[in-house]
Structure 1
Amino acid sequence: MADIVNLRQARKQKARAEQERLAEQNRTLHGRSKADRERDRSIADKAEKFVAGHRREPSGDADSAAVRPKNVAPFSDKSDA
């Protein structure tokens, strides 16, 4: 006699096996070790520090000080009249 197979359970088991196969494939393609992630993070930090060190103006409110000379008062919307 043939074995009795529950088709619902067989479908679910097949779907789980397919998902596990895809997960294993993604782990091999995209998985990185902790050392790789830390190395990439340190390289990105060094690059950011290098760029920040060569900026003309410090980060922050740069556009208000760069437009006018230091001896000129800022514009005010309030009228004197």
Structure 2
Amino acid sequence: MGDVINFRQARKKHDRAAKERTAEENRTRFGRTKGEKAAEDQRRDAEIRHIDGHRLGDAGPDGEDDKAG
């Protein structure tokens, strides 16, 4: 005679396995490695420093440069 199966437990086990498969697919499709995230952050910081380095002066509350005198 066969083993007794609790259908509720079997259904939940099947659903968990399906969710894990979906999660694994999403991690490979959309995920980025720690190195990729760090490289992106460094690139973004370098761009901000580059842009800030080309500013002529800080605009005051009236919109005019403080350094213009």
Could you say whether these structures have the same fold, taking a TM-score greater than 0.5 normalized by the shorter chain as the test?
Answer: yes
Aligned partner of 2:52 in structure 1 is 52
Describe the SS at the equivalent of 2:62: helix
2:32 is aligned with 1:32: yes
Aligned partner of 1:13 in structure 2 is 13
Aligned partner of 1:3 in structure 2 is 3
Identity of aligned residues (%): 36
Which segments of 5 or more consecutive residues in structure 2 lack a partner in the other structure?
none
Aligned partner of 1:42 in structure 2 is 42
- Letter of the 1:10 counterpart: A
Q: Number of matched residues?
A: 67
RCO comparison, higher one (Cα < 8 Å, 6+): 2
Which segments of 5 or more consecutive residues in structure 1 lack a partner in the other structure?
71-81
Describe the SS at the equivalent of 1:64: coil
Higher Rg: 1
Aligned partner of 1:79 in structure 2 is none
The root-mean-square deviation of aligned C-alpha atoms, in Å, is: 2.3
TM (norm. structure 2) is 0.76
- Letter of the 2:64 counterpart: A
2:40 is aligned with 1:62: no
